[in-house]
Amino acid sequence: METLTISTASKTYPLYIGDRIRFEIQSFLNNLNGNFSSILIITDSNVEPLFLNDIKTSLTDFENIYSYVVPGGEGAKSFSVFYDLLTYALENELDRKSLVIALGGGVIGDLAGFVAATYMRGIPFIQMPTTLLAHDSSVGGKVAINHPLGKNMIGAFYQPEAVIYDTDMLLTLPEEQWRSGFAEVIKHALIWDADFYNWLHSEIHTLADLRAEKLQYALAKGISVKAQVVAQDEKESGIRAYLNFGHTLAHAIEAGLGYGKMSHGDAVAIGMLFAIRVSEEYYGINLNLSKFKEWFKQYNFPQIPKELGADLLLQLMKKDKKAQNGSLRMVLMKTIGEVETVKVNDEFILNTLIKELEEVQ
Ligand SMILES: O=C(O)C(=O)C[C@@H](O)[C@H](O)[C@H](O)COP(=O)(O)O
């Protein structure tokens, strides 16, 4: 097992990563010295049959352990599920010393984290990621639910007490989940670390290559990028926006199709290719977009959904949280490992969207 330290302006906390460490949860909680009064485990219908019991039986020192299972998928990041969770917490008399455990992927981390951030103005929580994608979402304290008009529109920056990342839990993931998480791994390389990108490019030809020591390496690298960025800019006043590379179009696609129709990582992969195309045109440089497209095809990332159309996509992209005074801002790539946030005009993005959609086979 390895222990990393995540330091942000508001909080420093441990990230434990290792094989089968879910069974050690009680000792991790003891290390936190939180004197927790009760536990609420929030998980989803996919994770519950696999791991909920392991966690409950490993929490040997608690009498009051509650659990709440939401439906699997992005649809659970809704106001009604959030409200039901708060009702459940109130009915079971959770107090300010109660601990929320987010047991699941990015959806559960975001939802449970937002419950913890808002219940009684904030109670402690820990992240127990069960997906590859959550190497990104469990670190850095972005918690949120969606609004039909925009993704993650209602949320907070709220750091967990700890992240407990049991890599054994990843082994049950279906192919689509590996692909979805891998998109965020690629993102971390592209925005920050050209050597890491070269390693991914030469070592990970198929998702099946992401096993054993390669998985550990990819996770450690991805988490390290995330940790470095949030250490410098917890609340996204500057460089944290780089972590949004590919997300302006991704969130538009997710909202446009309806949450849960396309996985977040698939949408991010499409969004990154689009951001590379915009970057080429904006800076007048050649980033080898066609090579990136070929590379992404190797993992079966989908193409941009043509049916949404350029006008709707632009309209949805303009709802992005990075927009200022109605102007769209995107994270663009100057070279692999170096990005910046720039203001882009609507007409330019619309035309680039039209070109991108025309190329869909
Ligand atoms: O941690 C961040 O900052 C990120 O932007 C990471 C993203 O991969 C993640 O999807 C995040 O939740 C998106 O944030 P949002 O502010 O664009 O909703």
3-class secondary structure, 176: helix
355 in catalytic set: no
Q: Answer yes or no: are the C-beta atoms of 232 and 125 closer than 8 Å.
A: no
Pair (198, 337) in one structural domain: yes
Q: Give the amino acid at 191.
A: I
Last residue of a domain, one of 172, 197, 227: 172
CA of 105 to the centre of ligand 1 (A): 14
CA of 136 to the centre of ligand 1 (A): 8
Pair (231, 290) in one structural domain: yes
> Tokens at residue 179, please?
């692909």
Pair (124, 218) in one structural domain: no
Pair (98, 187) in one structural domain: no
CA of 229 to the centre of ligand 1 (A): 12
Overall number of domains in the chain: 2
Pair (179, 163) in one structural domain: no
Pair (207, 142) in one structural domain: no
* CA–CA distance, 255 with 259 (Å, rounded to integer): 6
Pair (194, 156) in one structural domain: no
pLDDT tens-digit series, residues 153-204? 999 999 999 999 999 999 999 999 999 999 999 999 999 999 999 999 999 9
Pocket residues for ligand 1 (CB within 6 Å)? 136-137, 140, 142, 151-152, 184, 236, 240, 243-244, 247, 321
Among residues 135, 111, 99, which one has the least CA distance to residue 43?
A: 111
Pair (70, 203) in one structural domain: no
CATH of residue 21? 3.40.50.1970
Pair (232, 318) in one structural domain: yes
Pair (107, 255) in one structural domain: no
pLDDT tens-digit series, residues 309-353? 999 999 999 999 999 999 999 999 999 999 999 999 999 999 999
Compute mean pLDDT per 10 residues along the chain, 361 residues long, and list them.
Answer: 97 97 98 95 98 98 97 97 98 98 98 98 98 97 96 98 97 95 98 98 95 92 98 98 98 97 98 98 98 97 98 97 95 98 98 96 81
- Annotated binding residues: 106-110, 130-131, 142, 151, 184, 247, 264
ipTM value greater than 0.85: yes
> Which helix or strand (DSSP H or E) is residue 44 part of?
strand 39-44
- Annotated binding residues for NAD(+): 106-110, 130-131, 142, 151
Structural domain range at position 91: 2-172
Q: Which amino acid residue places its CA nearest to atom 10 of ligand 1?
A: 137
Pair (90, 125) in one structural domain: yes
